[in-house]
Amino acid sequence: MAARPAVAGPLLTVAIKASDTLSADGARAWFEAAGEVQVISWSQRQYAQAAVVLAHDVTAQVLASIDEASTAPHGQAVPVVLVADGCNERQLLDAVDRGVVAVLLRSEISYRDVVEAVQQSLKGGSLMPAAVVRTLVERQQSFRAQPQPQTWPFAPREVEVLRYLSEGLSTADVANCLNYSERTIKNIVHEVVQRLDLRNRTHAVAYAIRCGVV
């Protein structure tokens, strides 16, 4: 086994799945050259800290790859970062439902941004480009314009937190806005995720948007 390159901190372990060989080889080469990320095979993805799925279009096959990483029947599910050329509203919500915690658009990012997205996902964060956040906001506005039932599975404080998160704020930013500790915000989100059997924070926000509460 080859020795790991000398780096300032521990290596991130990432499994990569791409819709074409060129993208897969390019990502692997960059990560290995940067010396911050150890790339393991997709078949061993349950042992990775995160999975990166690279695609041109968010097809059924791409969604199946996301499912493979996020369900992990023989190991622990891992957060999934999706890098795509584009992502419409339906594809975005489908991807989030399957366990994607960050969506990056190829035209707006570099491999450095992918590493940052992985690092943030391991801290419970979620990086989304402006266009993706705008899609969520438009979905939110569409729901608000429709009559909605008043029986929602959220407490008022949970709605407040999820509303801020849907606007792209970090948990630290939400804590500042609501004058809570960041730990309290994380506990609120964790409670929602566990109670409603959701995958992660991003899934909780998408679920709240679908319910029309934020």
Residue 97 maps to a domain: yes
pLDDT of residue 114: 87
Full DSSP string of 158-180: HHHHHHHHHTT--HHHHHHHHT-
Does residue 122 share a domain with residue 25? yes
**Total domains in the fold of the chain:** 2
Residues of the chain under the 70 pLDDT cut:
1-10, 72-77, 128-152
Does residue 100 share a domain with residue 65? yes
pLDDT of residue 32: 81
Does residue 105 share a domain with residue 25? yes
pLDDT of residue 7: 39
Domain containing residue 169: CATH number? 1.10.10.10
Last residue of a domain, one of 127, 155, 188: 127
Residue 4 maps to a domain: no
Domain containing residue 55: CATH number? 3.40.50.2300
Total-model pTM: 0.63
User: Residue 168 is part of which domain span?
Assistant: 134-211
pLDDT of residue 5: 37
pLDDT of residue 200: 83
Q: Which of 172, 7, 198 is nearest to 98 (CA)?
A: 198
Does residue 187 share a domain with residue 144? yes
Residue 3 maps to a domain: no
Does residue 111 share a domain with residue 18? yes
| H/E stretch holding 50 | strand 50-55
